[in-house]
Amino acid sequence: MYYDYKEKEKKWQDYWHENKLFKTQEDRFKEKYYVLDMFPYPSANGLHVGHIEGYTATDIISRFKRMQGYNVLHPMGWDAFGLPAEQYALSTGKDPREFTYQNIGNFKRQIIEAGKGIDWDREFATADPGYFKWTQWIFKKMYEKGLAVLKDVEVNWCEGLGTVLANDEIELVDGKMVSERGGYPVAKKAMRQWVLRITEYADRLLEDLDMLDWPEHLKEMQRNWIGKSDGSMMTFKVDQSDQAFEVFTTRPDTIYGATYCVLAPEHPLVLEITSEDEIKSVKEYINITKQKTEIDRSMDKSKTGVFTGAYAINPLNQRKVPIWISDYVLPQYGTGAVMAVPAHDERDFEFAQKFGLDIIEVVRGDAEGAYTGDGIHFNSGIIDGLNNEDAKYKIVEYLEKTKQGYLHSTYRLRDWVFSRQRYWGEPFPVIFDEEEGIHLLNDEDLPLELPILKNIRPSGTGESPLANAYDWLHIKYDGINGRRDTNTMPQLAGSSWYFMGYILKNHLSMVPLDSDEAKVLLDKWLPVDLYVGGTEHAVGHLLYARFWTKFLYDLGLVSHKEPFKKLFNQGMILGDDHSKMSKSKGNVINPDDIIESHGADALRLYEMFMGPLESEKPWSTESLNGAKKFLDRVWRMFEFDIVSDEVLELRTIYHQSVKKVTDDYEKLAFNTAISQMMIFVNEVYKVQKISKEQARGFIKLLNPIAPHLTEEINQSILKQNEQLIYSDWPTYKESYLVVDEIEFVVQINGKLRAKFIDSRKITQEELKAKALAEENVVRHLEGLTIRKVIVIKGKLVNIVAN
């Protein structure tokens, strides 16, 4: 029989799509299961095979869970706002809106042709006004709760792109910051920006990680990003000045060993306290620092710095210590100032050695450089003789008593700079009056949509292209003569709550987020049961989505503190040269080409069989051919006799396969599930027949991976009217998992002389007697005397004779 995969796959895709067979049912009697993909940005390049890997994995699970009786929600949408579309529009003269929605059409076609079962009635793009209305509404609520504020902050400004860039959108080339997209120069610049105060949620974001079924390394990345440090704050006065600055330290017990202080070059006191002799070198150093990213400053092992000419007073012993500036101190971490204890901090030790600064030991230890361990304090005034913890307690007690310090925790986490100087993003629902007072749009006036602009080039003033939309920009609203905000929200705004948007979306509109109906729906479907995507979103999207969920929880709109219950990171698919796929290397695999040459089922099967889902795997066209051959072999298997009665020779392997595949699907171990199904097919080929029950059970096991082929077998060969999509998942019997009969081997003096099949329950005496009665054994024992008969239970009988 010939299987025309092109015709059959198109047939089933059309049937599923036209009949909306993957539409989520509001069935309150079934347990819910919410499967989510990290939705794509619809670029001009279309999907690549890496997308198909993750999308196939979630499709397998959603089909599997649906057959297990769950009410499955498996949606898809589009992360549609953002810089890439804007830059494409600028380079081509096309409208980013038109370009984006054209790309969405192509992505959707590719997903359908890959056989992915989606409830398309829930589809939306973050650029849909009906969706971003609620993104704007959430921003309004954050402003009302004091979590969205306007601040003057130092940002990464890219003149070439005309916008602020996040750290992960910047690269360092020849020691200079450039934009990842386009390679334009980037510099630090102070700008008035909207900031979301995610730091208010730092402790909860940290503590609630423990309740999540996420990869441990990913949770650790978030812990490190949040970066909580417990310690104390203390005040250092500037000598011969009425100025002072606060220092945060996790080792207040080493205060007597502080021999200098270091301020971040951006610290507001630097230019005020710098002496006339040092001002030129300090300003030069500040300008050099502006060319470095935070990451570069954190990772750079070479210590640089400049003396300010000023001194600070140690609050414990009143010693004067020099004040330096250095780029290893970051303005946003702690207070932007540190007390340096070179004898007991490696970084301070290196700095002190380089610049010839004092090193005073105050904790006994045996390290050649800086000793950072526990020990007895000396040269330490009120804490002499104490160990670290006792000394910390006594120092903080003294600082609090003298009002020079207090217990404190700091975080590496920064507040989220939420403004972008772009056109293609969500406008802020804000109006500034003539005195720069802030007024929010009323809910009934949302969404605030973007004006249609022919020119979306940067304004040249540091504002977004919206500054060119005069009629849109200037407005009289509620009796106010005002001006709209020309900034737009970052791309991560829309993706911070999109998993809720799917729950609220129906075919035509979205249930209002602030309605009772929305709360019922969100309570029913959240949290997401399984979220699959790449590790690149570990501390960006995932952290912000957790933050927004906790905020909506505080508003009483959702009943769950966390959005994603289980998270799984699929590994990258590499080129056949074992390097990352890229257009420049010419090793990108287009799924359209593979579906044309091998079919969607073969592509799905191959990608799941390449290796563990979480591992990196190189592409192999030869192995892809093997996947296609296996599916052809499955199709031809149904030329064998399909009988009514159970085929006993297949009983054990069938029940073993049901158990193995079920267990492996639960673990997302699809490669080993496929291996088991291959073993089953081989056994069928040996006996050349299969029962109807075994045949249908097998195609149910294979259906989540190869849905087109198995539905065709089910309908055209097995003549079943019930779709596999909504059939019951096969079950196994424990009693059939163990083989009743096994093969025994008989050896004489270690040489094989006979084999026979018998019950595994046979006694040793019966086994011995049967072995000695074998015709070939009797013949080879002629003229020999049996000295010993060794029986190895369940395996063999070895006869020793001479």
- pLDDT for the residue 419: 93
Q: What is the DSSP letter of 717?
A: I
82 φ/ψ sector (left φ>0, alpha ψ -120 to 50, else beta): left
The Cα–Cα gap between 167 and 53 comes to 28
Q: Contact, 328 vs 238, CB < 8 A?
A: no
* All domains in the chain, ordered by first residue: 5-135+492-570 (3.40.50.620), 146-210+415-491 (no CATH), 229-410 (3.90.740.10), 591-736 (1.10.730.10), 741-801 (3.10.20.590)
| Residue ranges of the chain whose pLDDT lies below 70 | 295, 459-460
Name every residue whose Cβ is closer than 8 Å to that of residue 694 and which is 6 or more positions away in sequence: 646, 647, 650, 654
pTM: 0.85
Amino acid at 346: E
Q: Which residues pair with 430 in a beta bridge?
A: 440
Q: For residue 556, what are the CA distances in angstroms to 44, 503, 520, 542, 551?
A: 40, 17, 12, 21, 9
Cβ pair 802, 787 in contact under 8 A: yes
| Beta strand 438-440 pairing with 430-432 | antiparallel
Contact predicate 382/424, CB 8 Å: no
- Which residues make Cβ contacts (< 8 Å) with residue 433, sequence separation at least 6? 439, 480, 481, 482
pLDDT at 92: 82
Contacts 24+ apart (CB under 8 A), 351-355: 351/262, 351/303, 351/305, 351/324, 351/326, 352/259, 352/260, 354/303, 355/305, 355/307, 355/324
User: Angle formed by the axes of helices 692-702 and 651-666, to 10°?
Assistant: 20
At residue 762, the 3 state secondary structure works out as: coil
- At residue 724, the pLDDT reads 96
Residues 6+ apart with CB under 8 A from 663: none
**Residue 230 in 3-state DSSP?**
strand
Helix axes of 670-687 and 621-637: crossing angle, nearest 10 degrees: 40
Helix ranges restricted to H, 247-367: 270-273, 279-289, 294-299, 346-355
Phi, psi of 604, deg, nearest 5? -60, -50
How is residue 1 written in tokens? Answer: 């029989």
Give the pLDDT of residue 458.
74
> Which residue's entry shows tokens 């995610």?
198
Q: Is the dihedral of CA 277, 278, 283, 288 positive or negative?
A: positive
795 is in an annotated binding site: no
What's residue 761's pLDDT? 80
Structure token digits, residue 623: 């192995």
> Residue 23 contacts by C-beta under 8 Å, 6 or more apart in sequence?
119, 121
CA atoms of 17 and 6, how far apart (whole Å): 17
Q: What is the residue type of 679? A: I
Going through 665-794 in order, the beta strands assigned E by DSSP cover 689-691, 741-748, 751-759, 786-792
CA 322 to chain centre: 45
296-302, Cβ contacts within 8 angstroms, sequence gap of 24 or more: 296/172, 297/327, 297/328, 297/330, 298/328, 298/330, 300/327, 300/328
For residue 277, give the DSSP letter: T
